[in-house]
Amino acid sequence: MIKLSVNGTSLTYDGDEDMPLLWFLRENAGLTGTKYGCGIGQCGACTVHLDGEAVRSCSVPMASLDGAGVTTIEGLPQDGKLHSVQAAWLEEDVPQCGYCQAGQIMAAVQFLRQFPNPTDDDIDAHHTNLCRCGTYGPIRKAIRRAAALAQPTGGSSTRGSLS
Amino acid sequence: MSMSRRGFLRATLSGGGALIVCAAAGPALQALDKAAEPEDKQGTALIPLLEMSADGSITFINSRSDMGQGAATSLAQMLLDEMDADWDKLVAVKEGLAQRDLYEKGPFALVTVGAISMFFGWHTHRKAGASLRHAFKAAAARRWQVGADRLQTGNSVVTDPVSSKRFSYHELIADVASMELPDDAPLKTREQARIVGKPVPQVRARERVTGEALYGMDVDFPGLKTAMVERPPVFGGKIRRFDKRGALAVSGVVAVVEVTSGVAVIADTFWAAQKGRAALKVEWENGPFEQQSSQSIAAQLTKKLDTPDDKEDVAGNAGSVFAASNVSLVEGRFSFPFVAHATMEPMNCTAWVTDNSCEIWAPTQNKIYAVATVAEMLGRDEADITLHTTLMGGGFGRRAQEDFVNEAAEVSQKSGFPVKVVWTREDDMRHDYYRSMAEIRIRSGLDKNGKLHAWESGVSMIDTAPFHFVPLMRNNPEARDIGYAGQKPAYAIPHLHLSQSFTKLPITVGILRGISHGYTNLANEVMIDRLAGIAGRDPLDLRAEMLRDNPRAALVIEKLQQLASRNPVPKSMSRGFAFAYEGNVQDRFQYYSGHIADVGRNDDGTWFVHKIWIVADHGRVINPSGFRRQVEGAIVFALSMLRGTAITVDKGAVVEGNFGDYPLPTISDTPKYVEIELIDNDEWPMGVGEKMQAGIQPAIINALEKLSDTNIGRLPIADQLS
């Protein structure tokens, strides 16, 4: 029996331990915001936070998750209020088809914890989620906007350059 | 204004007191290029367009498919603007059902392809909006017993400036529902527009950032099973025999059935279906395509360039010019691989077929023909099939094919279970309807003064007709144009000869973002820049000279010239130009774009795109924000093919299976600077998502050819730079 916490709720699992976390989230927990895109950890559509790290849930077997704490896109808003990264995503009108965006947002949230005031080079080096609609330009702007929103002064970041 | 119970628009009151507005758009759409509506408005079924609830909140009903290209947003803009509704009262967007009677009767019935949503919507949605605006005015006029002409509308309110009285639209719902709606209410002028032309964020954006948005992959209900189909690895292959015992032994697998496309494993979960399918033993009859590879197909296509199936002297006689001594012959050869769509959401479809019902949930660009094909497969009436279009994770033309919908219905019928057939990434990549491989040869004749006298272009590709996304068109020779559209340059060239060669092969080919323009226009535009280089001429001057008689195209080039001269090429970078278009000058359906790419190379020899400029005449601009998003997306899509998204065939099967060997661009590949100049005129609006990349790729290649002094003749570019 595997016990884990998802978005603060305690859940158990006693099925095939090879099954990746992605399918537990989608099919057992009913949290379909986390998407299947490739199944091999390449595209990032399934990105969630596992004990504070961004991971690609299609490549994390349930066997490794006893006692783990998982946050999905559904667990990101606090007190009914969108996370600053989600708000920035809306302000920059990022989504086209939107399928990859939950993963993009989860990756960006974790990235901004490590790089609270990122340069373009930081973004290029560390934000690796794929988007076939090609929303990368708006994603770059939204990451920078979210960084600015999170500054204590609420002021805007001045490093790097943007068109 | 003429009114008729058999007219274009109907409004009814729902049980809940909401106004439901439907349009009989079928005949209206067919009349697109005629001044008048046809007399006979056959059929009584209607397209639902809009619901206005008793409190005035509005639900827009999307009749097209929105794969992320923003069609729903822009169509709602057209409708709500024309009816003078309050945009902030738009609270929901629902997908319209697929019922053929509801839509146009032509062969392209509601297939969302080819940038046509804006074009058709400019007719239907505007017309409907105008009719409603006048109906609200007429209703208020009747209540106040005044002339409707003096009343004004705006933000879902009718006001009488004389008496200062006002009605909100929702207070007039019952009146409008009992009225006959005008067929030919006058349309707003550009100056009266309040929503059209404004940058509007995409509808349904919030649910896309919260994870609440439900895609085809997310469909669920009690009892629903997950199915995976093992399909023949070699195109045209058949099952010889299979052993299902291993699959059935996997915990969670509930059934294994043979279907037309392969062997379906039905299970309680994705994981069980995947494990079950891996435990299947299938012996395939591969067939003759097993002997084929990308190299052998390229050799066949190349050979076939010399024996075209169709050829035409569009103007003059190019052959005679090449024989003359005063022109020099310049030849260009271009080779293109198969390209897969790789939508982020792989194909999937949910179907529940019982003895007397069939309900389908499909992320489809082609709901009408999906229903038609399923009806034929089941031997039932189309009216007995209910198809819900779900949100979809990208389309790019893949979802215009109905194969994955029909397959799901067959799996459900044969297994007796409601099933969601899920394609893994590998399934999706190896059983796509690829953009065809293509070989292109262009010969052109230049004189000493750098004037282009003759142009001869041959395109050789796999025959697309057997796989056409409109089943009625399959094997119709006219359906082959998907494979060579865009071959004819817009340029006035005195001697123009075009030929096409079609090779029939079982590998499934179809439409991919911009169809064949992606390769035909690339070859044309790279050739033009090479010719300008040989003649020592400015590449934009050369284009301008040949577009003089096409004012819209000429203006695009003029604006491009202004941009180029105002903005010097950054140090150590190189600049390429390109032009793209679709349509004919005599039709409403025409649009143009000009492209500049500034490209540089890194110390390690790799290349990057610094900046892209676009000048676009896509007619009236509906949503400048959506326009920009589509340009940005097209740039990334264009880069993907230049950098590495090529499908290779070996022993009759596709080699690539996932993003490891079919690499998509990442954020670091994306140019940081994109500048767009819109020629926002009063011509009919055209979508942006489709053809834009057909001009972006050649602009980048032209810059790279100059930068490296090399001819680039194949995609991906890979090691061709010196």
The reply to whether the predicted model has a pTM over 0.90 is yes
Distance CA(B616)–CA(B676), nearest Å, equals 8
The C-alpha atoms of residue B349 and residue B385 are separated, in whole angstroms, by 14
Distance of CA B494 to the CA centre of its chain: 33
Q: How far apart are CA B207 and CA A32, in angstroms?
A: 12
- Give tens-digit pLDDT for A25-38: 999 999 999 999 99
Q: Are A27 and A50 in contact (CB under 8 A)?
A: no
CB A39 to CB B424 under 8 A? yes
* pLDDT above 70: percentage of residues in chain B: 94
pLDDT at B36: 33
Nearest CA in chain A to B347: A37
For testing contact with chain A, the best of B218, B220, B344 (most A CBs within 10 A)? B344
Report whether pLDDT(B107) > 80: no
Tally C-beta pairs within 8 A across A and B.
189
Query: Does pLDDT of B648 surpass 90?
Result: yes
Burial zone of B379 (CB within 10 Å; 0-12 exposed, 13-18 middle, 19+ buried): exposed
CA atoms within 13 A on the CB side of B555: 13
Q: Give the residue-averaged pLDDT of B646-664.
A: 98
Q: Which of residues 141-160 of A touch B (CB under 8 A)?
A: none
What integer is the mean pLDDT of A63-77?
A: 98
Query: What's the one-letter identity of residue B639?
Result: L
Q: Is the dihedral of CA B375, B380, B382, B386 positive or negative?
A: negative
pLDDT for B37: 36
Sign of the CA dihedral running B137, B142, B144, B149:
positive
Confidence label for B22 from pLDDT (cuts 50, 70 and 90):
confident
pLDDT range class, residue A163, cuts 50, 70, 90: very low
- pLDDT tens per residue across span B154-175: 999 999 999 999 999 999 999 9
Chain B contact for A14 (CB, 8 A cutoff): no
SS (H, E, C) chain A: CEEEEECCEEEEECCCCCCEHHHHHHHHCCCCCCCCCCCCCCCCCCEEEECCEEEEHHHCEHHHCCCCEEECHHHCCECCECCHHHHHHHHCCCCCCCCCHHHHHHHHHHHHHHCCCCCHHHHHHHCCCCCCCCCHHHHHHHHHHHHHHHCCCCCCCCCCCCC
| CB < 8 Å to A129, chain B | 666
Return the amino acid letter for B409: A
Give the angle subtended at the CA of B290 by the CAs of B287 and B295, to the nearest 5°: 145
Question: Which of A74, A71, A124 is closest to B211 using CA atoms?
Answer: A74
- Are A140 and B670 in contact (CB < 8 Å)? yes
Cβ contact B210–A86 (<8 Å)? yes
Q: Average pLDDT in the B108-135 region?
A: 85
Question: Residue B25: is its pLDDT beyond 80?
Answer: no
CA torsion through residues B58, B64, B67, B68, sign: negative
Please report the residues numbered 50 through 69 in chain A whose beta carbons come closer than 8 angstroms to any beta carbon of chain B.
none
The pLDDT of residue B587 is 87
Mean pLDDT to the nearest integer, B674-696: 94
Burial of A65-96, coded b for 16+ CB within 10 Å and e otherwise, reads beebebbbbbbbeeeeebbbbbbbbbebbbbb
- What residues of chain B lie within 8 A of the CB of A83, using their CB? none
Kindly list the strands in the beta sheet with B452-462, ordered across the sheet, starting from the edge strand earlier in the chain. Answer: B310-315, B495-503, B452-462, B438-447, B327-336
Q: How far apart are the C-alpha atoms of B461 and B517, rounded to whole Å?
A: 13
Beta strands in B244-303 (DSSP E): 253-259, 262-267, 281-285
Confidence of residue A153 (pLDDT cuts 50, 70, 90): low
Q: Alpha-carbon dihedral of residues B277, B282, B287, B289, nearest 10 degrees?
A: 30
Indicate which of B67, B198, B200, B209 best probes the interface with A, i.e. most A CBs within 10 Å of its own CB: B209
pLDDT digits 0-9 by tens, B261-300: 999 999 999 999 999 999 999 999 999 999 999 999 999 9
The one-character DSSP state at B183 is: S
Under a CB-based contact definition with an 8 Å cutoff, are residues A134 and B641 in contact? no
Q: How confident is the model at residue B23 (pLDDT cuts 50, 70, 90)?
A: confident
pLDDT score at B33: 39
Report pLDDT for B114: 77
pLDDT higher than threshold 70 for residue B602: yes
Q: Do B344 and A99 touch (CB under 8 A)?
A: yes
Question: If DSSP codes are grouped into helix, strand and coil, which group holds residue B166?
Answer: strand
> What residues contact residue B122 under an 8 Å CB cut-off, 6+ apart?
B78, B620, B684, B685
pLDDT of residue B30: 43
Mean per-residue pLDDT, B127-132: 94
CA distances from A107 to A57, B356, B696 (A): 12, 46, 29
Asked if residues B113 and B397 have their Cβ atoms less than 8 Å apart, the reply is yes
As a whole number of angstroms, the distance between CA B483 and CA B500 comes to: 9
Mean pLDDT of A41-70: 98
Q: Which residues contact B276 (CB under 8 A, 6 or more apart)?
A: B228, B247, B248, B250, B252, B253, B256, B265, B267
**B633 CB-side CA count, 13 A:** 29
Q: For residue B149, how far is the Cα from the chain centroid? A: 42
Contact between residue B649 and residue B655 where contact means Cβ atoms under 8 Å apart: yes
Identify all chain B residues contacting A98, using CB atoms and an 8 Å cutoff.
68, 204-205, 207-209, 213, 391, 393
pLDDT the model gives residue B2: 52
Residues paired with B677 in a beta bridge = B615
* Nearest chain B residue (CA) to A100: B344
Q: Whole-number mean pLDDT of chain B?
A: 93
Quickly count: other Cβ atoms within 10 Å of residue B4's Cβ.
11
pLDDT tens sequence across B463-490: 999 999 999 889 899 899 999 999 999 9
Considering chain B, what percentage of its residues have pLDDT values greater than 90? 82
